[in-house]
Structure 1
Amino acid sequence: MTVFTIVPSAPPQPGRPVRDRPVGRQGALLEQLARELNVPAETFLDEPPDGDAGELFALVRHWLAIGDSQARRRVLSLARQEAERSGYSEVA
């Protein structure tokens, strides 16, 4: 179950809806991902862009919704298999 809380936010940017930030483990993971990508965490809560970026946002949202570690390992395993079918190989 995803839990959201209402917190004061920065003034909205024109044309962008304001969403509540996730809290707890999901919020912490989202914040870490946003820092790594050098974007605001709210980026992942806004309407997703078109194309590959939108699909990536959807994947992040779905990943955060999976609370079971075994389920996440299954999803990651499937992603690895599909990447390998597409010619990707991990470098050790």
Structure 2
Amino acid sequence: MAGAYSTVSGQNPPHTPALGTLVVDTVRDDRVGEFRGVAGPYWSLRPVRGGAEWEVDPASVRLATPMERLRAENARCNARSEGRFL
């Protein structure tokens, strides 16, 4: 589902997500990121495996599905086991 930040059921939440919530940036090929905060009109997301944060328009974000969350958490575990800095 592309477009506005929404749950799988399509309902919009009343507020920004909690820190650490996994969301999908629909503009960047459904890239999964961890919500890090608000930067002006944008939300800051961080790659789950570590790396530089990026900013995204909240209208282009949706919650990660259970499968996307599982894949992201697995990628994080693999990165840690390889000794990569997170």
TM surpasses 0.5: no
Question: Larger RCO: Structure 1 or Structure 2 (Cα < 8 Å, ≥ 6 residues apart)?
Answer: 2
TM-score by length of 2: 0.36
- Greater strand share, structure number: 2
TM normalised by structure 1 equals 0.34
Comparing both structures, which one devotes a greater share of its residues to helix?
Answer: 1
Return the index of the structure with the highest Cα Rg: 1
